[in-house]
């Protein structure tokens, strides 16, 4: 915890050697000489305390650009200059702490760190004796296809007669940028399909 300039000055005065020449009151020449030093020490302590929050990219303000510089360009090509501060923090934290994984839960947690809720469906190969009436037939290599269900579409535009103009798309949607992260980190033997309809 940082200290005030007065608290630092009190400590500096208390550390003076014994003797009548080393007066410890605030009106002394020694106190006047030590006051600027106490102010500098108090400033350094305050800055050091503020830097404790900068260790985590989710809380960083001053050091966020340093995290981004060390991480290098975004592998998915996102332009961080167009992102909000909270989105930049989330992205930097995800890239800084990501350790990799091949389980569905890893990718669900990865999306959650970016504020996106997903579920993942896997296909199971059907074998005689295990299937019951109504089960879906899945043949190899379909078991390597993951379907990622996103809770919603980030931006959806539907053409309307009164508002639209010639050249406008009839239907347009912006895909969630979590797609790139999942495609980039997916297990090599899998294929990923994204379902923007919601839950499976």
The pLDDT tens digits along the chain (200 residues) read: 789 999 999 999 998 888 888 888 888 889 999 999 999 999 999 999 988 889 999 999 989 999 999 999 988 888 998 999 998 998 899 888 877 788 889 999 888 888 888 999 888 777 777 777 777 777 778 888 889 998 655 555 565 666 767 766 666 666 677 888 888 888 888 899 988 876 55
**Angle value at C-alpha 152, between 115 and 114, nearest 5 degrees:** 15
Which domain does 84 fall in, by range? 56-97
Say how many domains are in the chain: 3
> Is 164 in the same domain as 139?
yes
> Is 48 in the same domain as 92?
no
> Is 119 in the same domain as 170?
yes
> Is 177 in the same domain as 191?
yes
DSSP 136: P
> Is 84 in the same domain as 157?
no
Q: How far apart are CA 76 and CA 72, in angstroms?
A: 12
**For residues 91 and 114, is the Cβ–Cβ distance under 8 A?**
yes
**What secondary structure does DSSP assign to 55-92, as a single string?**
GSTTT-SSSHHHHHHHH-S-TT---GGGS-HHHHHHHH
């Amino acid at each position: 915890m940082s200290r005030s300039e007065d608290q630092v000055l009190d400590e500096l005065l208390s550390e003076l050697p014994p003797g009548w020449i080393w007066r410890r009151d605030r009106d002394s020449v020694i106190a006047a000489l030590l006051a600027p030093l106490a102010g500098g020490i108090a400033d350094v302590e305050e800055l050091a305390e503020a830097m404790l929050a900068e260790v985590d990219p989710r809380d960083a303000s001053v050091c966020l650009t340093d995290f981004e510089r060390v991480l290098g360009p975004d592998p998915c090509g996102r332009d961080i200059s167009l992102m909000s501060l909270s989105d930049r923090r989330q992205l930097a934290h995800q890239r800084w702490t990501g350790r990799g994984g091949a389980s569905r839960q890893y990718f669900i947690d990865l999306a959650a760190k970016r504020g996106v809720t997903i579920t993942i469906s896997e296909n199971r190969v059907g074998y005689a004796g295990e299937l019951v009436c109504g089960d879906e037939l899945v043949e190899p290599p379909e078991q390597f296809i993951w379907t990622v269900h996103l809770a919603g579409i980030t931006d959806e535009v539907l053409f309307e007669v009164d508002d639209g103009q010639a050249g406008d798309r009839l239907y347009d949607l912006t895909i969630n940028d979590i797609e790139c992260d999942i495609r980039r980190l997916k297990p090599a033997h899998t294929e990923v399909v994204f379902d923007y309809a919601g839950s499976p």
